[in-house]
Amino acid sequence: MAPNIPSLRLPLLAILAFAAALSSALSGQEPLKSVEESRGYNFGEAIPVSCLNRTIDTGEHITDEHTGQLQYIPFPTCNETSRPLELHFGLERDLNCTIDFVSDEFFHLLEFYIHNDAPLSCRIPSKPLPPSVLEKQYRVSDESTQEGAMGTQSSMYTPLIVALSGTLQLSHLHVGNNLNLLVHASPKSVSPGTVDAATAYSIASHTRNTKITIGDPLLLSFSVRWYPSTTLPPGWSGYGGHIYTSTLLYCILSAGASAAICIAYFRGIDLPRRLKRYTTERMNGGSGGRFGGGGGGYGLPVANGRAGSGYGLGGGFGYGGGTTGKRD
């Protein structure tokens, strides 16, 4: 008996339709986040720095015309590394970045930064960027690929405001090029390898600065310090009124040195001098005194032809020259 072909065709079509629907549903789903997106920084891993792009006319930020987001560009290239400025997670050091040529545009932006008309607004990735976003980070020529601070990308970055100080002159600038750069990482128990906050500022700009004109190189020296939480350790202890270990040790050493000098002076100079004077007085002070003979000594006086029974000591041990002998 031949099989009923029309009766088998209906289940087969149902199976094929279910498979097509399942494939379409799977292809429409977004892929799961990769391990690269969720991991934190390793110690010493490079962190790129990008800054807000501004116009040289007014200092206003530039907005991407395609996406409407703020446009960020990489930090100027440093001669030391031939790359834009980079930090390294958890690594404390003094970092130099020499900008080889201060262009006319950059010179006018420095005027805005120093005069505080516009801040030098930068940012760093809070965690390592995915490869797709990291590639866009350095693609400056295509403005439409610049990831902005608004929208879905805002949580991926931590702001880094650089407070650049200095003095404006008619023909040149004095830029406070020595800066402290402080970075706070999230506690390891909360989110290991994550940047929580960052800031940078010029120090002693009145005395530690460099003169800049258009075409000159600009050396920026960063003193980078990392903190394992958002809490700053106490650092201010006032100008005095407290006892420090160094002060206590200084007092102990000073007291010991003074005591040693006093003992050496007494035993080496003062004591021999006193002993010599005392001995001289004992030797020269006996004439007519307590131990001198004084003329009598131990002479035994004779009374009535007989030796007296007393001690007739004329001066030293005598008792006035008298005798206690028996007299007839």
- Between residues 251 and 31, the one the model is more confident about: 251
Span 38-54, mean pLDDT? 90
Give me the phi and psi of 27, to 5 degrees please.
-70, -25
Per-position b or e across 101-127, b if 16+ CB within 10 A of its CB: ebeeebbbbbbbbbeeebbbbbbbbbb
- pLDDT, residue 309, reads 47
Q: Are strands 157-163 and 173-175 parallel, antiparallel or unpaired?
A: unpaired
Q: How confident is the model over 159-203, as pLDDT tens digits? A: 999 999 999 888 899 999 999 999 999 998 888 999 999 999 999
Span 110-131, mean pLDDT? 88
- Between residues 245 and 24, the one the model is more confident about: 245
Q: pTM for the whole thing? A: 0.58
C-alpha to C-alpha distance for 67 and 56, rounded to whole angstroms: 22
- Between residues 270 and 27, the one the model is more confident about: 270
The segment with the largest mean pLDDT, out of 95-99, 263-267, 272-276, is 95-99
Instruction: Express as a percent the part of the chain with pLDDT over 70.
Output: 66
pLDDT over 50 (residue 307): no
Side chain identity at residue 111, one-letter code: E
| Least confident residue range of 55-69, 133-147, 249-263 | 133-147
pLDDT band at 272 (very low <50, low <70, confident <90, very high): confident
| Least confident residue range of 193-202, 212-221, 258-267, 279-288 | 279-288
Instruction: Express as a percent the part of the chain with pLDDT over 90.
Output: 34
Q: Where are the beta strands (DSSP E) in 102-232?
A: 120-125, 157-163, 166-168, 173-175, 178-185, 195-202, 210-212, 218-227
- pLDDT, residue 242, reads 58
- pLDDT, residue 99, reads 94
Span 82-101, mean pLDDT? 94
pLDDT over 70 (residue 132): no
- pLDDT, residue 28, reads 47
- pLDDT, residue 222, reads 96
Rg (C-alpha) for the chain, rounded Å, is 49
C-alpha to C-alpha distance for 115 and 166, rounded to whole angstroms: 8
The average confidence (pLDDT) of the chain is: 76
pLDDT band at 50 (very low <50, low <70, confident <90, very high): very high
